[in-house]
Amino acid sequence: MMKVCIVGASGKLGIYMVQHALDRGYAVVGVCRERSVEKLDAFKGRITVIPGATNDREVIKRAVAGCDRVLVVLAPMGVHHYASGTAQAVLDYADPGARLVFSCGWHITRDGQDVYSWKIKVLVNIVGRLARLARVVDLDDKVEATRRVFASDTRWTVVRGSDLEEGKSQGLPVWSRHVGDPILESNMTRRVDFALFMVAALENDELVHEAPAIVGCQTPSALAHAASE
């Protein structure tokens, strides 16, 4: 049985990933902050929960031991290198050859060829700076976290999510290498399907060393792209 560690299991995205992983028959180890453990009560008896901060290296070392796959929610909380600390711990302690899949937003770029709308630029440059000054969120640390992932020689994928909405699954999202590509114009994905893409990526070797930007498969831009092929 494949064993997957889900770092950030108690968040909205994490809970969906836990369910998708269980549906695929994986043995699941979930990592979440101690005060959030109760959010995983619905999975009692079906998963192993390791409480602790996800940037705590000892917590991550224990959680990823023996895991074939690791799913990581990169959360830019606070101003204490939470995201980069989490990423570095996973990179350092995951088993050699383990499949690693990290989540982030469209604002992350791998090669600088992404083209961003003014809304995304405002979010990152103005709202992001204000959030950092308030010591709530540090988007720059998320950039640093993914920089470390991109530079590593592990079997990584960084999934870049569009805006998210709740709702029933519409199916596996579609993806492109660069934000600004026409297929991504709708900029919307169901959160349950973001989680689905993360879990599916674990078995898709074509996504190794890729940073796919995703969008819902039933959005107007995705449907228009499919019709044009």
Model pLDDT for residues 94-142, shown as the tens digit of each residue: 999 999 999 998 888 899 898 877 566 556 554 444 444 444 445 678 8
pLDDT confidence of residue 136: 42
pLDDT confidence of residue 78: 44
**Phi and psi, residue 61, nearest 5°:** -55, -45
pLDDT confidence of residue 1: 80
pLDDT confidence of residue 172: 98
pLDDT confidence of residue 75: 72
List of residues 6+ apart from 137 with CB closer than 8 A: 76, 77, 78, 128, 131
pLDDT confidence of residue 137: 47
Dist CA 220 CA 207 (whole Å): 24
Crossing angle for the helix pair 82-93 and 57-64, to the nearest 10 degrees? 40
pLDDT confidence of residue 174: 98
pLDDT confidence of residue 107: 84
- Which residues in the chain come in under a pLDDT of 70? 76-80, 118-139
Give residue for tokens 């937003």: 105
pLDDT confidence of residue 140: 76
pLDDT confidence of residue 106: 81
pLDDT confidence of residue 76: 53
pLDDT confidence of residue 81: 74
